[in-house]
Amino acid sequence: MLDRILATLDESEKAAIDEEELAVLKAVADELLSVPQESLQLLPALQMIQTKHGYLPRLALRMVAEHLAVTIGNVYGIATFYNQFRFNPPGRNPIKVCLGTACHVKGGEIILENFERRLGIKENETSEDREYSLERVACIGCCALAPAVVVGEKVEAYVTPSKVEGIITEIEVRKEMAAREQEKNED
Amino acid sequence: MSAEMVTITVDDKEITAPAGSYLLPVCLENDIYIPNLCYVEGMEKPPASCRLCLVEIEGVKGPQVSCRSEIFAGMVVKTNSEEILKLRQIAFRLLVSTNDGSCRTCISNRSCELQQIAKFLKQPLKTKRLRHIDRDYPELIDDHPYLVYEPKKCLLCGRCVHVCSTIEKGYKLSFAKRGMDTIVSFFGSELDPASVDCQDCFACTEVCPVGSLSSKEKWKAFIAGLDKK
């Protein structure tokens, strides 16, 4: 099924699919085989892909449509309706900006915009190197620390624009250190 | 039709109609105009979402949507009372509060159902009584091989989605996202262009009450005409 769908793409679309995505698509093709071919299975199938791979690749949605014999419109209608589905792969450093009531009042919106500008991506997107992904969440239960941001598993409290810069720099420094460590070990 | 024919009274006019059928199409056939946006002829279950077709029915509590009111013997309906007009006006204002309203450069100017309804309800197309909400949409989506969609003009009435679902090779149109971000989408970029059979259909553009969905060819010709002026 995957090969047939890939054959309908033009060259530029094919080039846009990187190896990581292709591996996910291949896995999805196998996993779909265990899903009964009825339209009732649409939501469970999407949930399965989301849980296993952390996002719904574009072509996976076409595969689901074909497997369940429903239209692509149906699949997209449902997938875009629910917030639980993502369309971009999660980054290695997922950044979740809290926009619950307290964080909203304390300017969480500004923090989100800061991240967007710093990383050059919009909310619900992933940076090209898959290092960062950005999303807004409702309440993370740290209202006293507003505005709060969750980076990976770590909660950052009282975030300010300068702290946004600090968070990114810290990640970059850690990445750089890990790379040097690796180089040293290889030598 | 096997249904029993009964006599009903609409605005003091006597009408004979099959019992159990919906009131709105019967009124329209008998030259009693009731504004409507989400109803499409022949719909089995109208969504009753536009709230413009409200009427009063004697003996029934509260205003009723005529598109989902079944006709019964001796039904007495009022379509033109003060209260009904007010309710329809409120529904209309809510509809246009998120709408673009740039009629002069719109392909459906003068043939637009929204303009007709505005005239009928004596309401301006740009309401001042509600805060205008500009939805965060692009001006134009044209990734479909034969259609263009102007989201800011769309009222989300659902007519196009309905007709597309009744066409065997259709059902490429569907609602996407939700809440204020809801949009009609054909996922043109996701479809294999060779598999899109829309070139002789255009049923969706015909039922669109405004100028939101149009054939790409006609739209291009229209824009070219605008530029000349």
Whichever domain contains A120, its CATH number is 3.40.30.10
> What's the CATH architecture for B135-228?
2-Layer Sandwich (3.30)
Is residue B36 pLDDT above 70, yes or no?
Answer: yes
Are A72 and B176 within 8 A, CB to CB? no
B155: left (phi over 0), alpha (psi -120 to 50) or beta: alpha
Is A122 within a domain? yes
Average pLDDT score over chain B:
89
Preceding omega of B151 cis (within 30 degrees of 0): no
State whether residue B221 sits within 8 Å of chain A by CB.
no
If asked whether residues A75 and A97 sit together in one domain, one would say no
State whether residue B33 sits within 8 Å of chain A by CB.
no
Longest CA–CA separation in chain A, Å: 56
Alpha carbon of A134: minimum distance to chain B alpha carbons (Å) = 19
Tokens read off for A162: 């300068």
Per-residue pLDDT, B192: 65
Residues of chain A neighbouring B171 (CB-CB closer than 8 A) = 71, 73-74
State whether residue B49 sits within 8 Å of chain A by CB.
no
Which of A71, A74, A81 is facing B177, going by the closest CB pair? A81
If asked whether residues A102 and A165 sit together in one domain, one would say yes
φ, ψ for residue B72 (rounded to 5)? -130, 165
Per-residue pLDDT, B189: 57
Q: What is the pTM of this model?
A: 0.80
pLDDT digits (tens, 9 = 90+) for B73-87: 999 999 999 999 999
For an interface test with A, the pick among B164, B175, B186 (most A C-beta atoms closer than 10 Å) comes out as B175
Pick the CATH number of B5-93 from 3.10.20.740, 3.30.420.10, 3.40.718.10, 2.160.10.10: 3.10.20.740
If asked whether residues A110 and A50 sit together in one domain, one would say no
φ, ψ for residue B177 (rounded to 5)? 60, -165
If asked whether residues A29 and A62 sit together in one domain, one would say yes
Average pLDDT, integer, range A155-176: 94
Is residue B112 pLDDT above 70, yes or no?
Answer: yes
Sequence letter at residue B141: I
Average pLDDT, integer, range B125-144: 87
Per-residue pLDDT, B171: 65
For an interface test with B, the pick among A42, A80, A84 (most B C-beta atoms closer than 10 Å) comes out as A80
| Domains: count for chain A | 2
If asked whether residues A120 and A63 sit together in one domain, one would say no
Average pLDDT, integer, range A116-128: 91
Domain end marker among A18, A51, A81: A81
Alpha carbon of B192: minimum distance to chain A alpha carbons (Å) = 6
If asked whether residues A99 and A163 sit together in one domain, one would say yes
Sequence letter at residue B89: Q
Is A88 within a domain? no
For A171, the domain range is 93-186
Which of A61, A62, A77 is facing B174, going by the closest CB pair? A77
Per-residue pLDDT, B200: 85
Are A8 and B174 within 8 A, CB to CB? no
Confidence of residue B19 (pLDDT cuts 50, 70, 90): very high
